[in-house]
Structure 1
């Protein structure tokens, strides 16, 4: 009986135009709304307006190279704003992540009560827009209308001046921490809920308490989520603008150049110097990228070192 020859199947073509068609909208949006604005900003930062024509005062745009960058890096107001912003980040990021991790661990304990209500209550400040939150806290800080001042005076204690030169940085940082703890808590709590419960049961069988489980089991397992929230929080603090800009009309201790973004706003929209603002934006973006990479590398080395 003759044996039928095996049917050869044509090899399927891998790929084809379908993946590229599906990726095309995202690529187009990336180019139009990210790469093109970045390129245009860099192009503006290399140019400047010059007045020519004697008494006529004709303004022409010319290529000046790195002159705008030199002016930005030698501007004392911009440099002071950078240092103040870094100090603000050193206060906000550890405080915010520490509170978020603490609340997430407390809500993940087996004996927690009113867990859903507590999560909503902690997350609720994040739902308040930054400008509204800054206005609310600003009126709490103002000596004439602050109920906190009335409480201190009722107790016979000297009332603190939250907008004094030595305390305004902590007042602005308090607004950032108040608004950011809830979001980071939700991220870390979600990561905790993804850990298998069997690992906790095994630790309890070995005699570990809840504090030991939290520090030696939970925290190492959610380290990727902690690293992610740390990076996002650092980027957010390097771009702080709403809080000091909203408090600026309420007090003289917050100047128009209190942080770099306020200096950029002043140059672009008050002084109509878009070229200096573009150079300052590029410097801030490069600094944000450098700090993010450094923090990510440091946290990853510590996490991998613990795993080993």
Structure 2
């Protein structure tokens, strides 16, 4: 028994060390930094002094209208973008798993290919389709009598959502399609013998059995929504409506590297980490009902 425990500890040691180094320690240091602030004397020209601030940085976070607005913005973004993306991923997975599908390997690769492009590069590529004057989409709309500004205040959030959906639908499709391939084929054959059509098999058998995978992709999508950063950051020079605090992560970045207020930025990061945990846990609890 002792040898087994030692062997298990030895196998787990590399993971525990890496987990502590890249996850626990950074979070702990952020919490520590969020409890202090820099005080300057002499109208800000004197020497800086780091003093204990308690929870005052967190009070600043919740009193900051820019932070509240950025959180509401990403929540509205997630309520629309996440269901659309997962719905498309589920539809593609079901189509590829159907018997009428042909060239399955080619289309799996084609759907997954956008994920292989880094998010920043994808945002740069899509920006050429959004900027008036060089965008063929904008030119086509103008020629058709329908002027569309993808970078306006009313459309920019959904333009960002289009980039995220294009980048991540294939990734989620691969997860769902892999889960579909692990379902015993005998279940589908028995349903066909009973007279079930392909649509009824998908709705009554495949989708219910995909519930764990849908929950997993949903959690990943919620985390990614709250961490939205790269796409709006790339589009910011071309869209004046994207402010430095457009998303919570951008606000933290601006506080740290724009205003040199690292303690306030740390407090934003801690609050965002807690919000991510709350929303993810709530989604898991909601998904586990009835199981």
- TM bucket (normalised to shorter chain) is over 0.9
Name the counterpart of 1:63.
52
Bigger shift: 182-191 or 47-56?
A: 47-56
Q: Deviations over 1:269-308 (max 9, x none)?
A: 1111100000000000000000000011101114x1xxxx
Unaligned runs of 5+ in 2: none
Residue 219, structure 1, aligned to residue 207, structure 2: yes
**Which stretches of structure 1, 4 residues or longer, exceed 4 Å deviation after superposition?**
53-56
Alignment of 1:91 with 2:96, yes or no, is no
Q: Residues of 2 paired with 1:152 and 1:266: CA distance?
A: 36
Q: Distance in 2 between matches of 1:55 and 1:283?
A: 28
Tell me: CA distance 1:165–1:16, structure 2 relative to 1, closer, same or farther (3 Å).
closer
| Structure 1 range deviating more: 22-31 or 141-150 | 22-31
Residue 153 of structure 1: how far off its partner (Å): 2.9
1:219-270 Cα offsets, whole Å, 9 max, x none, are: 0111111111111111111101001011001110111111000000000111
Could you tell me whether the CA contact under 8 Å between 2:92 and 2:173 is conserved in 1?
yes
Query: Per-residue CA shift, 1:7-27, capped at 9, x if unaligned?
Result: xxxxx7552522222222221
Instruction: Provide the residue aligned with 2:171 in structure 1.
Output: 183
Q: 1:56 to 1:143 in 2, by over 3 A?
A: closer
83-92 or 48-57, which deviates more: 48-57
Q: 2:260 aligns with which of 267, 272, 276?
A: 272
User: Does the alignment pair 1:105 with 2:120?
Assistant: no
**1:78: which partner in 2?**
67
Give the structure-2-normalised TM-score.
0.97
Q: CA deviation at 1:118?
A: 1.1
Q: Which has the larger radius of gyration?
A: 1
Segments of structure 1 that go 5 or more residues without pairing to the other structure are: 1-11
SS in 2 for 1:60: strand
More displaced stretch, 108-117 vs 12-21: 12-21
User: What residue in structure 2 maps to residue 9 of structure 1?
Assistant: none
Equivalent positions of 1:110-259 (< 5 A) are 110-155=99-144, 157-259=145-247
Contact 2:142–2:148 under 8 Å retained in 1: no
Count of aligned pairs: 291
RMSD: 1.4
